[in-house]
Amino acid sequence: MLRGTRTGGRMPVTIGDVARKAGVGRGTVSRVLNNRPNVDPDTRARVQAVIDELDFVPSTTARRLSLGRSQTVAVVVPFLTRPSVVERLRGIESGLVAAGLDMIAMNVESAARRDAILHDIARPERIDGLLLVSIAPHEEELARIQGTGLPVVLVDAHHRRVPRVVTDDVGGGRLAASHLLALGHRRIGFVGDVPKPGFGFASSRLRFRGVEQALRAEGLAIRGEHLGLAEHSRPNARASAEAILEQTGRPTAIVAASDTEALGVLEAAAALGLAVPDDLSVIGYDDVEAADFVGLTTIHQPLAETGERAVARLVSLIAGREDGPLREVLPVMLVVRRTTGPAPAPDPSP
């Protein structure tokens, strides 16, 4: 019997109590609770009024049993303490709460951990769906997951046969470089991520591609010595930026693949006595909370919204609806703050 909760220390209300008071069967109450369409509007209103009057809330366990589902979604996410990842998770959680679903978050910080989770996660008796954040499954992993019938959606990751929600990383890179070009900069550097074995992260590489496209359109290119790639962290970005900025003919502007790395570039500039933006312009990517605090010019991507949209797509798949787009691309935008300005004069040709 489906039971609920009642405050004040009284006996718990059951679905039978609601059914008797509303003058309907238990099945009708269940359909109203689960928002099924095949209920007469007047009957639905009467049942809902009794639910409100009795303050009936189905227990989580009973609701799962009545639906035949776990009401739980697994979220596999790498490096969940990174600011951009936290923002995505905020959107995912918001979407799941609105859908009445619970979340199991699994943090991945090594290739071995990634492989183990994707090997064991596809258990339809435990979860109703799977969200993979910034992780694209290999073909054999995808075959195993899809073989169980478990719906899966990617966030900030790419696979041609899997529904996914992404932002326009290439367009964002172009936007960042175009902003600097419009300010007169011609020597532009880039600080980003070195590919991490076993993960397949693509965002830094795609943003760099956009920067290259914008420069190429102006007959320019990033010099090899103005490119700094390292494992993603603020200290590593600082070290990369210092190596770039200590050279003769240093760039007058640097695009960072993330706001975290842009903070490292700002630290390097300060350590070398370079004024921002008078001597060096810096632009980040993500628009996390810290970006506004330090006045960082950046590319805003709708991090929370990507999580919310991915949940909406997954909920549709769980319900058996396959009518959504296979690839949903959300736009990005330039946010100009205090760390970019006109190129120093004179700015010799590269």
| Model pLDDT for residues 144-183, shown as the tens digit of each residue | 888 888 899 999 988 888 999 999 999 999 999 999 999 9
DSSP per-residue letters across 272-308: TT--TTTT-EEEEEE--HHHHHHT-EEEE--HHHHHH
CA distance to 84, 121, 228, 247, 302, per residue, from 90 (Å): 10, 22, 31, 41, 12
Give the chain's end-to-end CA distance (angstroms, integer): 77
Q: What is the pLDDT of residue 124?
A: 63
Burial of 289 (0-12, 13-18, 19+ CB in 10 A): exposed
- Tokens at residue 336, please? 């100009």
Domains of the chain by start residue, with CATH: 4-67 (1.10.260.40), 72-167+303-330 (3.40.50.2300), 169-301 (3.40.50.2300)
3-state secondary structure of 28: helix
Q: What is the DSSP letter of 9?
A: T
* Cα-based distances in Å from 162 to 98, 306, 313: 24, 15, 11
SS3 8: coil
Q: In whole angstroms, how large is the CA radius of gyration of the chain? A: 26
Q: Which helix (H) or strand (E) holds 78?
A: strand 72-78
List the one residue out of 53, 15, 52 whose CA is nearest residue 31. 15
- 321-332 in b/e form (b: 16+ CB < 10 A) is eeeeeeebeeeb
pTM (predicted TM-score): 0.76
> Which portions of the chain are predicted below pLDDT 70?
1-11, 34-37, 57-70, 123-125, 197-200, 346-350
Q: How far apart are CA 6 and CA 281, in angstroms?
A: 60
| Among the listed residues 70, 67, 68, 21, the one whose alpha carbon sits nearest the alpha carbon of residue 47 | 21
Q: Which residues pair with 193 in a beta bridge?
A: 230
Residue listed under structure tokens 């928002």: 35
228/237 Cα distance (integer angstroms): 8
Tell me the H-state helices in the chain. Answer: 15-22, 26-33, 41-54, 60-67, 83-98, 111-120, 139-147, 169-182, 203-217, 234-245, 259-271, 289-294, 303-318
Helical (H) or strand (E) element with 167: strand 164-167
Two tokens at 64? 């799962």
**CA pair distance 182, 240, nearest whole angstrom:** 25
- Asked if 117 contacts 111 with a C-beta cutoff of 8 angstroms, the reply is no
Summarize pLDDT for 78-87 with one digit per residue, the tens. Answer: 888 888 899 9
Residue 333 bridge partners (DSSP) = 300
For residues 313 and 153, the answer to whether their CB atoms sit within 8 Å is: yes
Q: How far apart are CA 162 and CA 160, in angstroms?
A: 6
Q: What is the pLDDT of residue 70?
A: 62
3-class DSSP state of 225:
helix
